[in-house]
Structure 1
Amino acid sequence: MIKKLLIVFIALIAIQSKAQQGGGSPYSFYGIGSLKFKGSVENRSMGGMAVYKDSIHINFTNPATFGDENISTFRNESRPVKYTVGGSHSSSNLESNSSSDKSNTTSFDYLALSVPVGKLGFGFGLLPYSSVGYKLQTYTDFGGVENRYEGEGGLNKVFLSAGYQINKNLSFGVTADYNFGNIQNSTVLFAYNTEEQLLNYQSKETNRSDLSGLNWNLGLHYRGMISEKLEFQGSATYSPESDLTSKNERSISTITISSLSGAETIVNTIDIDLAANNLAETTLTLPAKYSIGGGLGEPRKWFAGVEYTLQETSNFNNPLYANSGTTFEDASKLSIGGFYIPEYNSFSSYWKRTVYRAGLRFENTGLNINNQSINEFGMSFGVGLPVGTPRTPFSNANIGVEFGKRGTTDANLVKENFVNVNISLSLNDWWFQKRKYN
């Protein structure tokens, strides 16, 4: 049954992700796009808080969580092999001082596998790092379109993690991320005659950047009982500054635009020699990132925690583009969240075995436009629904909903009110068993 669910889930995400190109945040115009949350639906349903570690869920944020001790349910011989897949749908209402619009995106979020080897654990998978999807227009004083901006693409990452349990309470881990992808954008400059009528021919600039590079993430995790029932968990991660190689192309086209459909027709195109200005291949800096957090709870019953993340995005630089009025400042995020399980081993009630999650997050995205910091707020709720079998008792389907807002209408900017619906399957199996013979 679980295998069938997994196949259906992947197929649905593969089909729906084609809609991702149709919309997105206008703030993905800047930098390498809108950064995606590196975490599971379980983490996201707790305000993005990723401090908690257990034996049945994969925690992408901290590689130290891959190392752990064997569990009694598996005769103290192993831990479950964990595999998970997730996706999301986002609906946004965009609002400025003069207009409003709507945007919908459906996307694949992650696919990962975790394999235990004694106190050592390995994990690998695929998840998006950033996304670009926008279509923006500016207008002249007389109401005509002045510029049209369009963009799509983003970065993905393949990760390989290893975590080791140093002692009963402390684990250490490291992740290697290979980032790859491309960003494509275009700008159409509309020209008018003295009578404010659109000319027959317009100019269009098209850019493409193919990006690739490696970065690292180091993590520590502590878990220990501080009383008979109360457990403390603490987490810290550090990602050092790293570089991405960007191979760039640029062209200028003369186009015509249909007055009926708005369709563009290319008349001629000239490729720009970026090498002459040392822009054919550039280096983008991925800023260093730090996080620290902790929380208290009763094992298999409840947990509440807080996590703070800082990223030195003020060091971000993209030599290919110079966005007027835009700067980058250090980004930060405060996540508060937790979960509650009424009775994890209840035989009489399915809903008593369900995990109930909730959280809040307050974020400065690191983007500053027209002297306005672009902030983000989210409030999330979620459930973990048991879908296991006697062989796979801990498998679950996770559903989360997040309500939030991003940006402001001040300084002629855009405010987004969004609803994110997230879904994942977190599955497990017992691969490694000691064979016993009578």
Structure 2
Amino acid sequence: MFTRFILFISILLIAGFSTSAQEGSSSPYSFLGLGTKAFRGTVENRSMGGLATFSDSIHLNLRNPAAYSDLQLTAFSAGVTANSTKLKTNTTSTDINYFTLDYISIGLPFNNLGVGFGVKPRSAVGYELEESSQTSISRFEGRGGLNTVYFSVGFEPIKNLRLGGTANYNFGDIENKAIIFRNQVQFASREINFTDIKGFSFDIGALYDVKLSNKITLKSSVRYETESSLDVSRRRELSTIQQGQNGAENVVNQINVDPVDTEIDLPEMYAFGLGLGQDRKWFVGLEYENYTAGDFSELGFNFGSEVVQKEASTFKFGGFYIPRYNDPVSYFKRIVYRAGIRYEESGLQYRGEDINEFGISFGLGLPAGRVFTNANIGVEYFERGTTSNNLIQENFISVFMSFSFNDKWFIKSKYN
């Protein structure tokens, strides 16, 4: 068991550096604040429209820490996504493909208590924009994002009521660059903003089941994230540059602005979920999330009065079906079939247009290897934004996959 634990910690450290280095977004709308949302749940959650109301004894639910108290076996899970994106305006379109590591997590059961820890991305920045006028050309680029290392605890104080909490350490860096070329001017102006962010945030959750009949159970969930302050260290480089071959930026003159230390506040979030199901057979549920309006003005880089950050909300509906979980003959009857839809009001308004999302997803849970080990695969098509008012619409096809390894790590030795 100790060897397995050391192996997992090593993987976790590698994953922390990997998520920091990866380009987790290609969205032009990631220019605002901390970027676009990078974590939407496990593959199981995402295959059901992001639904986080359901929990069981072998799968991790990283959205609600109360679910750790349901674990009966040690669960190790990692998820990845392949993204294919079409960015289109009224006149042109561009295709972009990229790959992301979504999470690496472990859950450990101890009687009615469960704990979990891991690493996951929180937000992602990755954009390249250009605006032209008769007198100038402006180019904007950004990269980086925010990642999270977390520790969760879930327990069951009374039968059918589970409570849990998570402590998150958030860290990351964001780089924003703007270059302006003016007609009849020999050199271009360049500004680069380097932003380092770190700090703690916290969330709590609850799950409660009510038996309506011998087969049917009503499941409910509540989640809450506190408004949390993160430390921000920000510095700027102001330069005049000359465009070289292959897009090289040759610095003619540069001024380094003294670093500024400040804070930003992560928005408060609450969520409610409700669903009906039969154990190991089927489940259908819906969930609502609400985020207060974010204020990222202290980051020192945005697009001025054209950008408005409002309250955000998400509606989710989804579920699963298992023909016969323990069928001794048919493999296909043991497969978990999942589906869901979601509608997200992102809270971002740009040039008077709301930048919202709509997605539909499907997935399979595939038994693999040992009795409770499983592979999960899902696909989601979703749209973000609009082509109105000279904006960009994004059409995504995301294929995501995870492996969940389940075993007993803590077995008391017995001697005859």
- Give the TM-score normalised by structure 2: 0.92
Superposition pairs of residues 20-419 of structure 1, within 5 angstroms: 20-21=22-23, 24-68=26-70, 79-141=72-134, 146-193=137-184, 199-258=185-244, 261-274=246-259, 280-324=260-304, 325-389=306-370, 393-419=371-397
AA matched with 2:101: F
In structure 2, the CA distance between the partners of 1:111 and 1:17, relative to structure 1 (3 Å rule), is closer
Q: What displacement does 1:428 show?
A: 0.8
In structure 2, the CA distance between the partners of 1:370 and 1:219, relative to structure 1 (3 Å rule), is same
**Deviation string, structure 1 residues 263-289 (Cα, Å, up to 9, x no partner):** 222222110235xxxxx0121110100
AA matched with 2:402: S
Who is 1:72 aligned against?
A: none
Q: What displacement does 1:16 show?
A: 9.8
Q: Which has the higher strand share?
A: 2
Check whether the contact 1:285–1:317 (CA below 8 A) recurs between aligned residues.
no
Q: What displacement does 1:18 show?
A: 10
In 1, the alpha carbon distance for the partners of 2:139 and 2:297 equals 24
Check whether the contact 2:33–2:302 (CA below 8 A) recurs between aligned residues.
no
In structure 2, the CA distance between the partners of 1:112 and 1:147, relative to structure 1 (3 Å rule), is same
Who is 1:425 aligned against?
A: 403
Check whether the contact 1:28–1:134 (CA below 8 A) recurs between aligned residues.
yes
In 1, the alpha carbon distance for the partners of 2:295 and 2:138 equals 29
SS in 1 for 2:45: helix
In 2, the alpha carbon distance for the partners of 1:436 and 1:15 equals 41
In 1, the alpha carbon distance for the partners of 2:219 and 2:112 equals 18
Task: Tell me the number of residue pairs that the alignment of Structure 1 and Structure 2 aligns.
Answer: 407
**Deviation string, structure 1 residues 107-157 (Cα, Å, up to 9, x no partner):** 111001111111111100000000001111111148xx6100011000000
SS in 1 for 2:23: helix
In 2, the alpha carbon distance for the partners of 1:22 and 1:62 equals 23
In 2, the alpha carbon distance for the partners of 1:356 and 1:236 equals 25
Percent of matched pairs sharing the same residue: 44
Q: What displacement does 1:17 show?
A: 7.5
In 1, the alpha carbon distance for the partners of 2:62 and 2:20 equals 25
In 1, the alpha carbon distance for the partners of 2:16 and 2:227 equals 33
In 2, the alpha carbon distance for the partners of 1:267 and 1:152 equals 24
Q: Comparing 317-326 with 302-311, which one deviates more in the overlay?
A: 317-326
In 2, the alpha carbon distance for the partners of 1:216 and 1:354 equals 35
In 1, the alpha carbon distance for the partners of 2:408 and 2:80 equals 25
In structure 2, the CA distance between the partners of 1:16 and 1:99, relative to structure 1 (3 Å rule), is farther
Q: CA RMSD in A?
A: 2.4
In structure 2, the CA distance between the partners of 1:299 and 1:402, relative to structure 1 (3 Å rule), is same
**Deviation string, structure 1 residues 30-51 (Cα, Å, up to 9, x no partner):** 1110012341010000000010
Where does structure 2 lack aligned partners over 5 or more consecutive residues? none
AA matched with 2:409: W
